[in-house]
Chain A
């Protein structure tokens, strides 16, 4: 197990290094000079040159890459070209919204999907299964922003239970949580639909396995066999989906952030791209890549925990 861990950690470091290089190069070759963009169309060439020198844009490419990478490693993400504030601070502020939102949406989708998938598999072909399959079909088909609008209409405008948008900050935790409920729900429902379907089909495959019949021959009821022997064996595909969903939720919530006017990571990237704030784009994208790689790493560890056969993989 230690060897497996060391090997995985080494490959994690290599992936990150490769990702940083690709991100840096892509942003480098993208058209648009931040300095001239910041100063506007009528700026004098010598002003632009001065700003370029100040931002370090006149240095050779490899030096700028090493400078940026070294900064990332020491927690210095640079200064935003447009806002003139440390990128690390901006990212931290946005993560305070995006991370709880993603985690909440993931938890909610799992809480919905787990019982739904189990019930559908246990009552295959009967009314509960059909209800779950119908609901999940709808959940996958509906775009989450439209779902978000419906939720706002009902819970904010009609019932006045929850705010329609905006984020008050974590100084008032209760208000902050209330602000995240609707966006987290809008994000979670389509994900829950996917997860429930994956879980159902994985469970149905497992239920046809012979060890389920062996479990029944020991005296377990159908439901007990499903819970004790079915669920854990069905975990691998479920963990795969969960890993993918978390990565998606972290950065992919941009439309939902827009609908609910939340200051999250997705909107930060969007703004940074439109304003050619390259240093912010680079840092946030690398951070997201880091998050995805770490989530994949954790997913792999979870695989090994769930299935002993994967622990001795070469």
Chain B
């Protein structure tokens, strides 16, 4: 199963000899962690050999990240650990922090989820990689600088294309994640821990970063602990797979076998949720609802110098789009293709530079007092269930916000009844109206966001990456909920996602966008089975997918 280039003496990479029984490079025995009196990890036992990829998966709060941080010795203050953590012959859990500092970055490397915030914004990327080297090696700065540039080239950032003198804000998300990886592997650690390294990236970049990590592990003989909530990411890459639930490992084994024939009910539920496709009720779309023709949006780029001609960035370049009453449309594309810019224009949030948008026959105009009657026909649900609510308001008040668009908003008992109905429509209890928003989980918040969009009975809702931040099981539930809304509310929607695999069951028609244009359009089955445009093929190839169930 796993290709292990084991070293009997971790830390001495030279003189490796193939061994019949490779000692695990990293080994956890009965690791338990309590934080503030509650157990977050219980009796975790894991082995990771050199050159092996072990995936640690489970839903948010299952303890995946805590396991990673426990190995690094970076648990939050007040955490108490029990059990053994062995890195080769070194027992980590008894080391002091100064001793751990000598190991972190040298024998243990870690890559974090969010490349946008994992780098120091005021330091060049070269200096940040160089820092890892200089902390542990007494090298002249010039030599460390050369080593840092080599490491950056190794992760796909050659100096002639991305000079080490760049700052993080000058790089894309994928490039930043490469820098984070370069910092972690600069000293060729025995163990690399990657905590959701691609969750914040779009599918195309995700595939590239996963390829890079796999190459590094195979070529440098590192052990990789890949923490991810996405089973599809794991499939085909990990040698072994461990599934966590509520602080315990419920199932562990060779990845391919485990995915083909899961034994534990929780694993089966996760896999089913990841494969889940909602069932859309058949519908004959009615008359035209949204008409977009020749839509153009551009914004000015910073000038190179004060007298330079201002250059324009064309985010949306001539989009034509029709959505009929009750029609369910998906829009997919890599990040930066103009999906969200288009959505903002449709919602009347930004002024457009060309083209027209009409909703039910009336033009959608940005700015000065948009017609409330128009506004209430089109509502939106956004990606971040945490950032899209005012934290000071109760759920009832948040949900009834769009009532101000009505000429005669319901008051008193009628208002409460409407709130209760909206909550029931999204599978929540009317009692939740009085609770503050912080009492709800991510999935519940997304339900509340949908309730807020539904309360004034719009004709259409724009779902902008509305399920991208959710765990697989919650995602499946929300997709089912959206599908139900077609039945109960006759709703039309534009479902925007960077992930093709998500949109398959949620649309009658799929639009593929690239560089500001819609490049392909068709029924989901046609798009998935016979993609025409290279952009569509690239998206399909990059999208991680689970192997078909055995039997």
Contacts and interface: CB of A to CB of B under 8 A. Distances in A.
Interface string A206-248: 0001110111111111100000110011000000000000000
Contacts of A306: 122
Contacts of A312: 302
B165 to A, nearest CB: 10
Given A221-B98, A233-B120, 15 more contacts: A3-B303, A3-B306, A209-B117, A210-B112, A211-B120, A211-B121, A214-B180, A216-B104, A217-B112, A218-B131, A219-B102, A221-B101, A229-B123, A308-B121, A309-B122
B106 A211 contact: no
B26 to A, nearest CB: 15
* Residue from the set A7, A211, A309, A312 with the largest chain B CB neighbour count within 10 Å: A211
Most A Cβ at <10 Å: residue of B102, B108, B114, B117: B117
Query: Interface centre among A213, A214, A217, by most B CB within 10 Å?
Result: A217
Given A7-B306, A307-B122, A312-B302, A219 B105 contact: yes
B72 A217 contact: yes
A314 interface: yes
Contact of B122 (A7, A221, A222, A233): A233
- Size class of the contact patch on chain B: 35 or more
Nearest to A3: B306
B192 to A, nearest CB: 11
A3 B305 CA distance: 6
A217 B104 contact: yes
B240 to A, nearest CB: 24
Nearest to B306: A3
A174 interface: no
Contact of A217 (B109, B114, B121, B302): B109
A224 to B, nearest CB: 8
A309 B121 contact: yes
Contacts of B106: 219
Contacts of B110: 214, 217
Contact of A218 (B98, B104, B117, B169): B104
A313 B302 CA distance: 8
B131 A222 contact: no
A2 interface: yes
B97 A214 contact: no
7 contacts: A210-B117, A213-B74, A215-B131, A217-B105, A219-B104, A307-B122, A312-B302
Tell me which of B109, B117, B121, B302 has the highest count of chain A C-beta atoms within 10 A of its own C-beta: B121
Interface residue tally of chain A, by bracket? 20 to 34
A134 B98 CA distance: 31
Interface string B143-173: 0000000000000000000000001010000
A292 B136 CA distance: 46
Contacts of B119: 211, 214
A232 B122 CA distance: 7
Interface of A: 2-3, 6-7, 209-211, 213-222, 228-229, 232-233, 306-309, 312-314
Chain A: interface secondary structure? helix
Nearest to B117: A210
Given A210-B114, A215-B120, A218-B104, A314 B303 contact: yes
Contact of B74 (A217, A228, A233, A307): A217
Given A220-B101, A309-B167, A213 B112 contact: yes
Contacts of B305: 2-3
A63 to B, nearest CB: 36
A222 B98 CA distance: 9
Contacts of B105: 217-219
A7 to B, nearest CB: 6
A221 B98 CA distance: 7
B210 interface: no
A6 B122 contact: no
Contacts of B114: 210
Kindly list the 8 A-B residue pairs having the minimum CB-CB distance in the complex, ordered from nearest. A219-B105, A3-B306, A218-B105, A217-B110, A210-B117, A308-B167, A219-B104, A218-B132
Nearest to A312: B302
A141 B123 CA distance: 38
Nearest to B104: A219
B118 A211 contact: yes
A30 B137 CA distance: 70
B184 interface: yes
Contact of B112 (A214, A307, A314): A214
A221 B100 CA distance: 9
A219 B136 contact: yes
Contact of B183 (A7, A214, A307): A214
A181 to B, nearest CB: 36
Nearest to A309: B169
A209 B101 CA distance: 19
Given A211-B120, A215-B120, A219-B135, A308 B104 contact: no
A155 B118 CA distance: 51
Given A221-B97, A312-B302, A216 B74 contact: yes
Contacts of A209: 117
Nearest to A306: B122
Contacts of B108: 217
A80 B195 CA distance: 72
Nearest to A229: B120
A228 B74 CA distance: 18
B207 interface: no
Contacts of A220: 101, 131, 135
A220 B104 CA distance: 8
Interface string B74-106: 100000000000000000000001100111111
A213 B55 CA distance: 22
Interface in B111-135: 112, 114, 117-123, 131-132, 135
A218 B183 contact: yes
Contacts of B118: 210-211, 213-214
A210 B117 CA distance: 6
Nearest to A308: B167
Q: Which of B109, B120, B303 has the most CB of A within 10 A?
A: B120
